[in-house]
Amino acid sequence: MHPPSHGDDRELLARAALMRAADVGDVIMGRLVRLYGSAATVEMIFRGILPEDFVEKEIARRGDPEHAAALDRRLRAWQARLQAAAPATDLEAGHEAGARLVIPGAAEWPTQLDALGHSRPLGLWVHGSADLRYSCLRSVAMVGARSATAYGVHVAAEFGIGLSEANWTIVSGGAYGIDGAAHRGALAGPAPTIAVLACGTDVCYPSAHHDLFAAIRRQGAVVSECPPGVHPTRARFLIRNRLIAALSRGTLVVEAAVRSGALNTATHAANLGRHLAAVPGPITSEMSLGCHKLLRERNAVCVTSPAEMIELVGMIGDDLAPTPRGPVVPRDTLNDETRSVLDAVPSRGGAGPASIAVAAGVDLKTALSCLGGLAAAGYIERVPKGWRLRRGHPN
**Residue 182 DSSP code:** H
Binding site for its own copies (CB under 8 A): 147, 151, 154-155, 234, 257-260, 279-284, 286, 288-289, 292-293, 295-297, 301-302, 304-305, 308, 323-327, 330, 332-333, 392-395
Give the count of beta carbons closer than 10 Å to the beta carbon of residue 343: 11
Element (H, E) at 89: helix 87-97
Q: How far is the CB of 283 from its own copies (least distance, A)?
A: 4
Q: How far is the CB of 326 from its own copies (least distance, A)?
A: 4
Q: Which of 341, 326, 342, 330 is nearest to 389 (CA)?
A: 342
Q: How far is the CB of 295 from its own copies (least distance, A)?
A: 4
Q: Which of 133, 174, 132 is nearest to 156 (CA)?
A: 174
Q: How far is the CB of 114 from its own copies (least distance, A)?
A: 32
Q: Which of 345, 357, 354, 355 is nearest to 382 (CA)?
A: 345
Q: How far is the CB of 390 from its own copies (least distance, A)?
A: 11
Helix (H, G, I), strand (E, B) or coil at 176: coil
Q: How far is the CB of 248 from its own copies (least distance, A)?
A: 21
Rounded Cα distance between 126 and 117, Å, is 21
CA-based radius of gyration for the chain: 27
Rounded Cα distance between 393 and 326, Å, is 6
Whether omega before 110 lies within 30 degrees of 0, making that bond cis, reads no
Q: How far is the CB of 237 from its own copies (least distance, A)?
A: 10
HEC assignment per residue over 6-56: HHHHHHHHHHHHHHHHCCCCCHHHHHHHHHHCHHHHHHHHHHCCCCHHHHH
